[in-house]
Structure 1
Amino acid sequence: MARGGAPEALAGPAAAALGEGAAGVLLDDPWQLLAVAGVRPEQADGFARALLGPDCGPGDPRRTVALTVWLLERAALQGHTAQEVGTVRAGLAAHSVPDPGEAVDTAVSEGAVHLFQEEREAPEETEEQAEESGEGTDGSGESGEEPPALLGLDRYALAEESLAEGLARLVRTATADAWEGSELERAAGAHGLVLHTGGEAARAEPVALAAKARERGLRALVAVHSDGGRRALGAAGTEAVTVAALLSGTAGPGRDEDGAFVLDLLVVLDAPQVDVETAATLVESLPDGCRLVLSGDPEVLGAPGAGRVFADALAARVCPRIASRVPDPGPLGELVSGIGVGELNQVEAPGKEVVIVPVRDAGEAVHRTVQLVADSVPRAIGVPPERTQVVTVGHGGSAGTRALNAALKQRLNPGPGRFGGYDPGDRVAYAPVPGRTVTGTVLSADAEGLRLRCGDDEVLVPKERVESALRHGWALTAHQAAGTRWPAVVAVLPGDAAGGLSRAWVYTAFGRAERHLSVVHGVDQALPRAVAEGVAPERTTRLRPLLEALLAAPGE
């Protein structure tokens, strides 16, 4: 690292990313430094110039291959499991690659990335249908053109293919049975895979399904995204587990001699928050004949990891889809339900369930947020600061999570931050793995690291991971908050946040509140405009066509 002019602090992460032979790998191909989280192309270029001298150029195949992989890794952080070839070529051109097309071909030929060309089978048409469909369409309103070629990384390609095959296996091996009861119960009895949609109140339906299955003598389990989601189920939550705990073996029914869960029915709540790699691991662990019910609200922000498993499964139309008719109650339910259909309605809130706090600038937004959490909400609503969650658009900016957490710490738990910037009593957000956030409170620190209280568990954050995996958590982004609810939520929308708003963001942030929502509002008409028009960009994935190829009925 020193020979290339890189900071010594990168030595550890480089060894973790590249293995024990990291030094030799970097000497042969300095651009492999891009495999280290946080390293940007210009930094890798400088490292390469220091090691290679005049032999280093923008068209070096080692550079172009590493950049292609880096672009796809960056896309995965935005939820994509693949990217269109043209998008990757444009990204390479932006980094001065002289021949982006050749660079992509080289990356594919070396096996660094995979090229996919999904085929769309045209349905058979009668003469009347062909005449009505019009030129250039297939009768369903979709273009008859072939889907664009996609590039993807091995890990996400394997995950999506494994997940599609696993879901198809469950569909084909389930024994149809006639269960009496609700529409959801009847569907689950007859099918191996069922999708259930609805808001927060609808969560009770799949939980009731699992209880009825147990009465039938089946081994049934409910899995949720977070401990907060489990606690929100009340008494029923005592028998629920988190997906992470189920996969790690710390909770759940255990596994049989073949490594499969000892289950007849698995109900997964908060399904939109499950990324493709987690979903693939989960489905691989279910035995033949097991029924799987995926339940969630399709309007919320997608999983923090790569993929759009729930949305792709819904779009594929390869299994029953049961839409709940149970509305979310009260003024908050009315507000959030309206947002879901693109309407920001003014609702009657006699119990101060919804309060709008106008602000002029980011500084005032931070000040009013602290005031709300520390004073106004506890006094007027009766919810203490530790049960109030602040949600904002991003980490940076003058009213992002960093600025808000600094101000909230100063007010709620002032201290020198003597343990890596943290003090006992600090509220924190811990990412045990990328894309998954657990909230907790700092208990203490010792030679091993920081000890947290996260729900009912005590968690150790190793000292070498404190800087990268831990943040203060009085304020979170909506992506971090998704899958959990709090008695009170303060949604912060400073003027510079307007560009980050979408209907899904507003729906998710406002929907985190159980009893009270304060909106620190500084974006003027950008808020109703985002609700009416702000459709979040879709993720590029391959799961839908894979499911359709495996499970679509003839003629669909």
Structure 2
Amino acid sequence: HDAERPGDEERAVGTTVPLAALLSGTAGPGRDEEGALALDLLVVLDAPQLDVETGAMLVEALPDGCRLVLGGDPEVLGSAGPGAVFADALAARVCPRVASRRPDPGPLGELVSGIGVGELNQVEAPGKEVVIVPVRDAGEAVHRTVQLVADSVPRAFGLSPEQTRVITVGHGGSAGTRALNTALKQRLNPGPGRFGGYDPGDRVAYAPAPGRTVTGTVLGADPEGLRLSTGEGEVVVPKERVESALRHGWALTAHQAAGGRWPAVVVVLPGDAAPGLSRPWVYTAFGRAERHLSVVHGVDQALPRSVAEVLAPTRTTRLRPLLIGLLATPDEE
């Protein structure tokens, strides 16, 4: 969110723009004569996804006197890039903190809240808000996932496949994003992949910069590259970057999905996913669902054990002591 500086006879108007577009100048109020963003107040949502480089660019772009509000859930997975800006700012206690402990309503909110404190509870879900789908192996996991996205969820909830996201632990493996996306494309949007392996209508995940993912749909191609429709508007991926920066996006990793929410989510946990599970991973993946969550479950007791016992590795950064040092008085140094 950002609020433009009001003129003498104009009140501030709040707008919502992607942070990357704000920093690049393609959206938002633009820069003043000193190169700072013309803002009085900036509210950054999903702030745990800020890596240290983006955080530094953001702070350097703010004018003197601007107020910065970082908002987000401290329990979700942190940024895919280096640093832990949100966690370090919280731990350093360098600014006022306002905590909201009101969970999302209903069975999904109850389930995710329990995971946040290390408990994987069975919840009453009379409206099939949460469904567990046991599988024996990765092949069955892929088959059941495609069935859920293409048939079961649309039939039970009236949600299209475009309103459903699949989340799994990694890109590789027999039920990673590559295998799942291959199967989902074959069912939902079959085609020859005439544009560098992609066809119009394909769901994709685009990484315009390391650690940042934008989801969208392929519109077509032209001499400049592959054209996508995304939440940030139309984007052109240069031909030379298609192979390295683009993946099919019906299925995502939890890090890729961390900044989004969808009406329905299918979390895929084949047997070989167990080593990649942790409480923040499960909390993040399960918490992406707004109305319905299906868990394709093949990890047996590794799921409750990871929720109860496995925390994310602590990142070693210099930001926390630097922030604390900024507030230290001469007597404390």
Normalised TM-score (structure 1): 0.57
| Equivalent in the alignment of 1:405 | 181
The unaligned stretches of length 5 or more in structure 1 are 1-206, 222-238
Query: Aligned pair 1:500/2:276, yes or no?
Result: yes
Q: Kindly indicate whether the alpha-carbon contact (under 8 Å) linking 1:450 and 1:466 is maintained by their aligned counterparts in 2.
A: yes
Please show how residues 169-318 of structure 1 align to structure 2 within 5 Å: 219=12, 239-318=15-94
**1:318-355 deviation line (CA, Å, top 9, x unaligned):** 21111113321111111111100101011111111110
Instruction: Supply the distance in 2 between the matched residues of 1:526 and 1:317 (Cα, whole angstroms).
Output: 35
Q: Which of 351, 354, 365 matches 2:127?
A: 351
Query: Aligned pair 1:335/2:111, yes or no?
Result: yes
| Equivalent in the alignment of 1:383 | 159
Q: What is the SS of the residue equivalent to 1:322?
A: coil
Q: Which of 208, 227, 237 matches 1:451?
A: 227
| Equivalent in the alignment of 1:415 | 191
Shift of the 321–456 alpha-carbon distance from structure 1 to 2, 3 Å rule, reads closer
**1:205-264 deviation line (CA, Å, top 9, x unaligned):** xx8x989x9xxx87575xxxxxxxxxxxxxxxxx21111010011111121111111111
**TM superposition shift of 1:446:** 2.3
Instruction: Supply the distance in 2 between the matched residues of 1:276 and 1:334 (Cα, whole angstroms).
Output: 32
Q: What is the SS of the residue equivalent to 1:430?
A: strand
Instruction: Supply the distance in 2 between the matched residues of 1:379 and 1:535 (Cα, whole angstroms).
Output: 37
The runs of at least 4 aligned residues of structure 1 exceeding 3 Å deviation read 217-221, 552-556
The unaligned stretches of length 5 or more in structure 2 are none
Residue 435 of structure 1 aligns to which amino acid in structure 2? G
| Equivalent in the alignment of 1:373 | 149
| Equivalent in the alignment of 1:520 | 296
Instruction: Supply the distance in 2 between the matched residues of 1:218 and 1:504 (Cα, whole angstroms).
Output: 41
Query: Aligned pair 1:540/2:328, yes or no?
Result: no
Instruction: Supply the distance in 1 between the matched residues of 2:174 and 2:105 (Cα, whole angstroms).
Output: 35
Instruction: Supply the distance in 1 between the matched residues of 2:133 and 2:122 (Cα, whole angstroms).
Output: 14
Instruction: Supply the distance in 1 between the matched residues of 2:12 and 2:55 (Cα, whole angstroms).
Output: 20
Residue 52 of structure 2 aligns to which amino acid in structure 1? V
Of Structure 1 and Structure 2, which has the larger fraction of its residues in strand? Answer: 2
Query: Aligned pair 1:439/2:215, yes or no?
Result: yes
Shift of the 304–218 alpha-carbon distance from structure 1 to 2, 3 Å rule, reads farther
Instruction: Supply the distance in 2 between the matched residues of 1:302 and 1:389 (Cα, whole angstroms).
Output: 20
Q: CA RMSD in A?
A: 2.0
Q: How many residues align?
A: 329
Q: What is the SS of the residue equivalent to 2:314?
A: coil
Range that drifts further, 448-457 or 392-401: 448-457
| Equivalent in the alignment of 1:363 | 139
Instruction: Supply the distance in 2 between the matched residues of 1:489 and 1:438 (Cα, whole angstroms).
Output: 17
Q: Kindly indicate whether the alpha-carbon contact (under 8 Å) linking 2:18 and 2:232 is maintained by their aligned counterparts in 1.
A: no
Instruction: Supply the distance in 2 between the matched residues of 1:394 and 1:548 (Cα, whole angstroms).
Output: 36
Residue 407 of structure 1 aligns to which amino acid in structure 2? A
Instruction: Supply the distance in 2 between the matched residues of 1:319 and 1:311 (Cα, whole angstroms).
Output: 13
**TM superposition shift of 1:509:** 0.3
Q: Kindly indicate whether the alpha-carbon contact (under 8 Å) linking 1:220 and 1:266 is maintained by their aligned counterparts in 2.
A: no
User: Relative contact order (alpha carbons < 8 A, sep ≥ 6): 1 or 2 greater?
Assistant: 2
Please show how residues 91-110 of structure 1 align to structure 2 within 5 Å: none
Q: Which of 465, 475, 478 matches 2:241?
A: 465
Instruction: Supply the distance in 2 between the matched residues of 1:402 and 1:452 (Cα, whole angstroms).
Output: 20
Q: Kindly indicate whether the alpha-carbon contact (under 8 Å) linking 1:218 and 1:265 is maintained by their aligned counterparts in 2.
A: no
Q: Kindly indicate whether the alpha-carbon contact (under 8 Å) linking 2:45 and 2:72 is maintained by their aligned counterparts in 1.
A: yes
Q: Kindly indicate whether the alpha-carbon contact (under 8 Å) linking 2:131 and 2:295 is maintained by their aligned counterparts in 1.
A: yes
| Equivalent in the alignment of 1:549 | 325
Q: What is the SS of the residue equivalent to 2:216?
A: strand
Residue 540 of structure 1 aligns to which amino acid in structure 2? T
Shift of the 255–342 alpha-carbon distance from structure 1 to 2, 3 Å rule, reads same
Residue 24 of structure 2 aligns to which amino acid in structure 1? S
Please show how residues 118-133 of structure 1 align to structure 2 within 5 Å: none
Q: Kindly indicate whether the alpha-carbon contact (under 8 Å) linking 1:317 and 1:552 is maintained by their aligned counterparts in 2.
A: no
| Equivalent in the alignment of 2:287 | 511
Q: Kindly indicate whether the alpha-carbon contact (under 8 Å) linking 1:301 and 1:508 is maintained by their aligned counterparts in 2.
A: yes
Q: What is the SS of the residue equivalent to 1:264?
A: strand
Q: Kindly indicate whether the alpha-carbon contact (under 8 Å) linking 1:428 and 1:439 is maintained by their aligned counterparts in 2.
A: yes
Q: Kindly indicate whether the alpha-carbon contact (under 8 Å) linking 1:354 and 1:518 is maintained by their aligned counterparts in 2.
A: yes
| Equivalent in the alignment of 1:424 | 200
| Equivalent in the alignment of 1:185 | none
Q: What is the SS of the residue equivalent to 1:321?
A: coil
Q: What is the SS of the residue equivalent to 2:71?
A: strand
Q: Kindly indicate whether the alpha-carbon contact (under 8 Å) linking 1:210 and 1:267 is maintained by their aligned counterparts in 2.
A: no
Instruction: Supply the distance in 1 between the matched residues of 2:332 and 2:116 (Cα, whole angstroms).
Output: 32
Residue 291 of structure 2 aligns to which amino acid in structure 1? R
Instruction: Supply the distance in 1 between the matched residues of 2:13 and 2:307 (Cα, whole angstroms).
Output: 38
Q: Kindly indicate whether the alpha-carbon contact (under 8 Å) linking 1:219 and 1:262 is maintained by their aligned counterparts in 2.
A: no
Instruction: Supply the distance in 2 between the matched residues of 1:456 and 1:470 (Cα, whole angstroms).
Output: 16
